[in-house]
Chains A and B, each alone.
Chain A
Amino acid sequence: MSANETGREVAQLLFRAGAIHVSRQQPFILAAGWASPVYVDVRLLLGDPQLRQAVSDLAARYAGAAFPPGSLDAIAGAETAGIPFAAWLADRLALKLRYVRKRPLGIGRNAQVEGGSVEGLRVLLMDDLTTDGGSKLNFARGLRAAGAVVEHVLTIFYHDAFPGADARLREAGLTLHALANWGDVLRAEAGSGLSPEDRAEIERFLADPVSWSTRHGGRASLAPRT
């Protein structure tokens, strides 16, 4: 299955789950202060058994192709919504499962990791959504502090409008793999749930997301601090 096909399938699942929200007037304020007319609640894929099986199959197929057998030891789910998706993926790939907290809890090298040791393990970090990449850096830091080798991040949806996420992750030695992004949402068939006005607003936004953010009361540039 090509990346485009995976993206289209995931986008359709997101529409079926009612996960795609557009607000033309009152913007959504996302992580780090970016204003956006679109918000995707990937967690809505958890609820329905058919939807979650479908997205997990897609994730497993993607991972099976992207990561040759034997190249990974464990999947680590990012707290919170990344955890169930990571669990289903780990099951399908018959790999160890761990999860990573947003912040360390207690003392010791493993303070951010639950489910067992990750010392020397090659770990795929998994999360439901990636916006500016900041949280992924934090999760990777926690895993690496516990001795894991982390080079890849798998996210179901990449809100790829805002600058810097890719570069940030690359600088930290992480490659971001996304099953779907906004391009996939727009390429999804007509009648998928986007009105022409919504589609137009999204396209305006994607053409210049920083200006859109600035015009709608959000951040105008990438924050100096991570």
Chain B
Amino acid sequence: MTAQPAEMRNVFSGDEGDRVLAEALFGSLREATGDGVGITREAYSERESLALDLVEAKARELGLATERDAGANLVVTLAGREPELPFLACGSHLDSVPQGGNFDGAAGVIAGLAIIARFKEEGFVPRRTIKVYALRGEESARFGKAYMGSSALFGKLSTADLSVRDHASGQALSECMRAVGVDMARVERAEPLLDPATVAAWIELHIEQGPVLVARDLPIGIVTGIRGNIRHREVECLGEAGHSGAVPRWLRRDAVFATAELITHLDRHWRTLLERGRDVVITAGVLGTDPQEHAIARIPGTVRFSFEVRSQNRETLEAFYDLFLSECGLVGEERGVEFRVDRRLESAPAVMDAGWIARLKAAARNLGLPDEDIPSGAGHDAAVFANAGIPSAMIFVRNQNGSHNPQEAMAIDDFLAGIAVMRDAIREAVR
């Protein structure tokens, strides 16, 4: 296939069959699970089940075999010539955040379905079996815990995880899982519902949810890894309150200036690490003085803030975290304040499989599409699969207006480009 000229790269007409399937399924999902403003199909809820039913019905319509696994996820299977070999898994999650978008998760499920539907239509029987998963429970919005569906597959949900309650209804995660048909006996025993050795790969298409592909004018990106993180929900800077007019600089222990200085130093370190080629982002998303103590003429004695560092590389995470603690000490000394951190929370980074990254890039190039790298800042089920030892890969599709909001958008042509790349890469791997 000849490379398309540069101007054409951003308009991928793709495949009429894919387009029709995508429009039909996104349409019926929006109709069934729209809430008037955005999309609501919360983890382990009736509307999530409804979404699974819709996708299952379409799969059956296309003549594909469907079933529900022990985790109550939907699995659509295209049998291979050698079904005893480890199968290739693909798909994504079908739940959403409240009042979210229609594409977050659903795009990956529909992509998987489109791919095996085409194979069936072509009469292409892969060597390995291919299974498309519509996973439940990826979003943390309902229970505070993310990737519940994929974690349950690998026996990774703890008793503490299962007892977490939904704020609105007060129901525990375990109750909600039981209600939709999850095999709780096994999940509660932390028994894997899926043997990683039986899975050859996990390939997931997902919207980027960030601004980079739009900024770089790329319809798709091949994901190199999923950023892990280290977090503190609350760091306290303790100085000394005082009268803003009466205290000279050398006697001040100003919590605001100290925190501002800490953050400025961390920002310098961040720029330096980026210059040296490391992948890292840091954020203080929650920050403030105590409104009860607010006064213009008062030197603030206390500031509370959150801190998070994310990176694809574990070593970078730990190194930056050390810098953070070290700066808390240095700035604390210089400014006469104390920085107190709460419990350290963390999430492991996940590396995507080099072989699959190469395959996806080659497929993109052969279709005349760009083959650029992109890290995943947001977490995905693919991280759970990767950390279970399954070679995993993700392809991002450009999307507008971010994610987790009703304005979340994705151009159908970009989606078709993503499907085409994923299909060709998979076809090559399971020939």
Contact = CB atoms under 8 A, between A and B. Distances in A.
Interface of A: 29, 32-33, 103-107, 217-219, 225-226
Interface residues of B, number: 18
Contacts of A225: 333, 336
Given A106-B272, A107-B273, A217 B323 contact: no
B273 A106 contact: yes
A225 B333 CA distance: 8
B427 interface: no
Contacts of A219: 250
Given A105-B269, A106-B269, A33 B333 contact: no
A33 B269 contact: no
Given A32-B250, A33-B251, A107 B319 contact: yes
A69 B319 CA distance: 41
Interface of B: 248-251, 265, 268-269, 272-273, 276, 319-320, 322-323, 326, 330, 333, 336
13 contacts: A29-B249, A33-B249, A33-B250, A105-B272, A106-B272, A106-B273, A106-B323, A107-B319, A107-B322, A217-B248, A218-B250, A219-B250, A225-B333
A32 B265 CA distance: 21
Contacts of B251: 33
Where chain A touches its partner, the secondary structure class is loop
Ranked 6 nearest A-B pairs via Cβ: A33-B250, A106-B272, A107-B319, A105-B272, A106-B269, A106-B273
A218 B251 CA distance: 10
B328 to A, nearest CB: 13
Given A105-B269, A106-B273, A33 B323 contact: no
B336 to A, nearest CB: 8
A107 B268 CA distance: 12
A106 B333 contact: no
A107 B274 CA distance: 12
A90 B123 CA distance: 78
Contact of B248 (A29, A103, A106): A29
Contacts of A104: 326
